[in-house]
Chains A and B, each alone.
Chain A
Amino acid sequence: AQTVTQSQPEMSVQEAETVTLSCTYDTSESDYYLFWYKQPPSRQMILVIRQEAYKQQNATENRFSVNFQKAAKSFSLKISDSQLGDAAMYFCAYGSGNQFYFGTGTSLTVIP
C-alpha cells in the first residue's frame, strides 16, 4: 500500500528566510503525482504545487519549489522568502488515478 511520511510535525522559520519541509513516500507504481497542499487556519485545503513523477524537472511555483528524488522516493518543499501568510499546516500527498494518500502534516510557524 502507498504510504506518505512527513517526519516533521512542526517547523518554524524566520520571516524572509527559507525553510524546507520533508516528505517521503512508498509506492510500487511508476506513474503517479505528488502534491503539497496548504491548510491555513480557515481549514481550506489549497494546492501549492504538484509534480508529475515522470518529469525529472523539479516543479516551481513562485516562492515554492520542490526537490523530487524519485529513486529515493523523496519530495521536499522549499519555501523561499517566507511570509507571515505562509503559516499553515502543510500536507504532502501522493496521487495515482483517483487514489489519494496524505501525510500527517507539518505545522509551519513564521516568526516575524
Chain B
Amino acid sequence: GAVVSQHPSWVICKSGTSVKIECRSLDFQATTMFWYRQFPKQSLMLMATSNEGSKATYEQGVEKDKFLINHASLTLSTLTVTSAHPEDSSFYICSAPWGSDTQYFGPGTRLTVL
C-alpha cells in the first residue's frame, strides 16, 4: 500500500509557541490530505481537508487561525498549531487518499504543550 510519513513523531513545546507538523506522501501524489485529531481512547476527529493549491476546508468548530494548513506541493501538507496552549495537546494524524477510495495514514504526531 501507499506510505504516508509525518514529522515530528513527538513534540513538546511551551505555551504560546507555534508548532509545525509535516505530512508527506512518499510514493504517490496527493492533491488532498486530511488532518485528524485523536484524544486518548477516542476515535479520530476530522479537523480539516488540505487541498493542494487552494485553501483548506475546515470542519465546524475548528479554528482556522489556530490550525493553519498549507498544502505546498503534491506530496506535502503542513499543519501549524499557532500560539499553542495545553488544551491543544493531542495526537494529530494525517492521511492521504490513494486510488479512488482508500485512506492511508501517517504514523501520527504527539503534541504536548507545557
Bin chain B's interface residue count.
20 to 34
Residue numbers in B under 8 Å from A33 (CB-CB): 101-102
Quick one: which of B1-59 are within 8 Å of A by CB? 1, 32, 34, 38, 41-44, 46, 49
Interface of A toward B, CB cutoff 8 Å: 33, 35, 37, 42-45, 47, 50, 52, 91, 93, 95, 98, 100, 102-105, 107
> Does A98 contact B32, Cβ atoms closer than 8 Å?
yes
Q: Which of B32, B93, B97, B101 lies in contact with A45, CB distance below 8 A?
A: B93
> From A89, which residue of chain B is reached at the shortest CB distance?
B41
Interface string of B95-107 (1 = CB under 8 A from A): 1010001111101
A-B contacts, 17 listed (Cβ < 8 Å): A33-B101, A35-B102, A37-B105, A42-B107, A43-B38, A44-B108, A45-B95, A47-B1, A47-B104, A52-B101, A91-B44, A95-B102, A95-B103, A98-B32, A100-B34, A100-B95, A102-B43
Residue numbers in A under 8 Å from B103 (CB-CB): 35, 93, 95, 100
